[in-house]
Amino acid sequence: MTKAFLSGNEAFAEGVRLARPQVISIYPITPQTTVVERLSEMVENSSLKSELIHVESEHSALSCAIGASAMGARTFTATSSQGLLYMAECLHYASGGRFPIVMMNANRSTALPWNIYGDQRDSLSQLDCGWIQVYVEDAQESLDMALQGYHIAESPLVSTPVMVNLDGFVLTHTYETVEIPNQTDADRFLPPFQTKNKMSLDNPKNLAFSVGPDNNMEFKYLQHKAMLDSKRIIEETDKKFAEIFGRGYGGLTQGYRLEDADYILITLGSITGLCREVVDELRQNGEMVGLLKIRFLRPFPDEDLAAALGSVKAIGVLEKDISFGYEGTVYTNVNSVIAKNGLRLETYNFIAGLGGRDISRENIRAMFRHLQTGGQHVNFIGLGVSIDE
Amino acid sequence: MSKPYLRPYQKPQKLSDYPLGTASEAGYLVTKNCGWRNERPIIMDECINCLQCYLYCPDGVIFKTKSGLDIDYDFCKGCGICEKICPKQAIKMEVE
């Protein structure tokens, strides 16, 4: 194990290096670019032996990864925002074909208005594409989830691609001290990729066949079942990771000061760190507040949420997303858990950070105040102008 | 590689009967595909076995036999390319 001062992207590249993918297909896009730059350097200086293919678009980047995965290769690609959307068709091909590709997505705003800064509307708009989606909080978790991502995706029960989401700039481009595991431990954690879902010259296959109404629904059910089964694999993967590397993340969700908490803020990604500090501050003032970080949005941690929110008075979902015409998508998902489990609590949605807008400590304090006083259900945080015209 | 042939279709009975991904043995044919054909090519005695039709058939349905050539009507779409390419007019299209 060594320590290094790395950005989120650079940490992720180290995680990919330790996972030893045989094929990496790359097309650069801000703010993902530095992850593929680091990987290119690693291949050039032979610290990573991999076929690095510089393709002509994101659609090609994922298509290339699908093709390589269909030959039984461990594959990696990375994208962001418009690139992810340009991949949209291939996202379904990858998950439907059950190819365990790991992809890093640098969460970034979607055009128009064109903007390179971070929000989560890109990946949340692709929630139904059949990929496992995890949102990481810091550079260490970025590196670790590159490794865990392959372990989860390649589990024979799962065989489903994994998208690891890093908040654009605030995580991809900020530097932290990161522990880099040694290769021996990484190999012990992540054995070589083996699958029956591949073709070869000795075993030619028809790939990506069509399936009519008589059998199509069964294939879709199998995808759904694999995603549900992945919940257990995600927990087991994190436990195995903790045994080898001495740190874990708690699986699908990670709670903070939930004990006796009456008011809980639900977060996603890098904003969690600041929210945790505000929880500490408010707890010092005697306020019964807590925090629940959703790590995996697919599969959705419905059991974890139901268990954590059983005796709570109010919750707020903070997300960098709006599904225009309704509310934040994470909020919709959380509310469905509350309805299904007959929980009696107030729920609020805080839409913040769109297009890279800063979310301040005072914004978060105000969210907790809102949970206690009540008010509008869906709230835009940090709008610079009055909306009461 | 030998010509793929039509095999009986086994309806899956349980989830584990389905493949993991959307891939399976190449050339595993379980359904005919000739429903829109309205003329069928007939190879006549004038055939000199030059194999032009065999090479040009877009669906690969013309195959060699011990005595010459034959056509797999389960997959022939009736496009008539074999009739056009035949140098001896040894293939005629017959209305079905």
Which domain CATH number covers A96? 3.40.50.970
A49 CB-contact burial (10 Å; exposed 0-12 / middle 13-18 / buried 19+): exposed
For range A191-200, the mean pLDDT: 93
Helix, strand, coil tally for chain B in percent (to 5) = 15, 20, 65
Same domain, A68 and A139: yes
pLDDT of residue A343: 96
Best of B20, B25, B29 to disrupt the A interface (most A CBs within 10 Å) is B20
| Residue B74 lies in domain | 33-95
Residue for token digits 């297009």? A355
Which chain B residue has its CA at the smallest distance from A94's CA? B21
The answer on A346 and A273 residing in a single domain is yes
Instruction: Please give the Cα distance from A66 to A97 (Å, whole number).
Output: 8
Determine the pLDDT at residue A323. Answer: 98
Q: What is the 3-state secondary structure (H, E, C) of A22-59?
A: CEEEECCCCCCHHHHHHHHHHHHCCCCCCEEEECCCHH
Neighbour tally for A115: CB within 10 Å: 16
Cβ of A222 within 8 Å of Cβ of B27? The answer is no
A174 CB burial (10 A radius; 0-12, 13-18, 19+): middle
Q: Quick check: A96 and B22 CB within 8 A?
A: yes
Q: Is residue B77 part of a domain?
A: yes
Nearest CB neighbour to B20, from listed A197, A207, A221: A197
Tell me the pLDDT band of B3, cut-offs 50, 70 and 90: confident
Q: What is the phi/psi pair of residue A358, to 5°?
A: -65, 145
Shared domain check, A162 and A295: no
Mean predicted confidence (pLDDT) in A349-368: 98
Distance from CA of B18 to the nearest CA of A (A): 8
Looking at residue A289, what is its pLDDT?
Answer: 98
Closest CA to B72 of B5, B2, B1: B5
**For the segment A306-321, what is each residue's pLDDT rounded down to a tens digit?**
999 999 999 999 999 9
Of B15, B20, B23, nearest to A206 by CB-CB distance is B23
What does the pLDDT average to over A334-340? 98
Q: Dump pLDDT digits (tens) for A152-193.
A: 999 999 999 999 999 999 999 999 999 999 999 999 999 999
d(CA A159, CA A98): 5
- Going by pLDDT thresholds of 50, 70 and 90, the confidence category of residue B29 is confident
Taking the CA of residue B77 and the nearest CA in chain A, the distance in Å comes to 20
> Do A274 and A346 reside in the same domain of the chain?
yes
> Does the distance separating the beta carbons of A207 and B20 come in below 8 Å?
no
- Residue A388 in any domain: the answer is no
- Provide the strand spans (E) within A215-269: 253-256, 263-267
- Burial status of residue A219 (CB atoms within 10 A of its CB: 0-12, 13-18, 19 or more): middle
pLDDT-based confidence at A386, cuts 50/70/90? confident
Q: Is the pLDDT of residue A224 over 60?
A: yes
pLDDT in tens, A257-298: 999 999 999 999 999 999 999 999 999 999 999 999 999 999
- Average pLDDT of every residue of chain A: 97
Interface ipTM: 0.85
CA distance A226 to chain B (A): 10
Residues A271 and A361 in one domain: yes
Residues A230 and A272 in one domain: no
Residue A158 with chain B: CB contacts under 8 Å = none
Residues A270, A222: one domain?
no
Q: Which of A6-15, A19-28, A65-74, A206-215 has the lowest mean pLDDT?
A: A206-215
- Mean pLDDT across A122-141: 98
Q: Are residues A231 and A306 in the same domain?
A: no
Q: How many domains does chain A have?
A: 2
Q: Tell me the mean pLDDT in the region A65-92.
A: 97
pLDDT at position A207: 87
Overall number of domains in chain B: 1
Residues A73 and A96 in one domain: yes
The answer to whether residue A3 neighbours chain B at the CB level (below 8 Å) is no
Tell me how many residue pairs between chain A and chain B have CB atoms under 8 A apart: 50
| A201 domain-assigned | no
pLDDT exceeds cutoff 50 at A83: yes
A282 and A221 within one domain: no
* Chain A closest-CA separation from residue B14 CA (Å): 10
A230 and A295 housed in the same domain: no
The CA distance from A246 to the nearest CA of chain B, in Å, is 34
Q: Are residues A287 and A160 in the same domain?
A: no
For the segment A68-85, the average pLDDT, to the nearest whole number, is 97
Do the domain assignments include residue B21? no
Checking if the pLDDT of B28 tops 50, the result is: yes
Provide residues of B within 8 Å CB-CB of chain A: 12, 15, 18-28
Say if residue A116's pLDDT is above 50.
yes
pLDDT of A349 over the 50 cut: yes
Question: Is residue A309 exposed (0-12), middle (13-18) or buried (19+ Cβ within 10 Å)?
Answer: buried
Position A203 confidence tier, pLDDT thresholds 50, 70, 90? confident
Residue A198 located in a structural domain: no
Task: Answer whether A205 touches B (CB < 8 Å).
Answer: yes
Identify the domain containing residue A175 by its residue range. 2-192+206-245
Q: Which CATH number do you get for residue B42?
A: 3.30.70.20
Exposure of A319 by Cβ count < 10 A (0-12 exposed, 13-18 middle, 19+ buried)?
A: buried
A96 CB neighbours in chain B (<8 A) are 21-22
| Helix pair A139-153, A8-19: axis angle to 10 deg | 30
Question: Where residue B1 falls among pLDDT bands split at 50, 70, 90?
Answer: very low
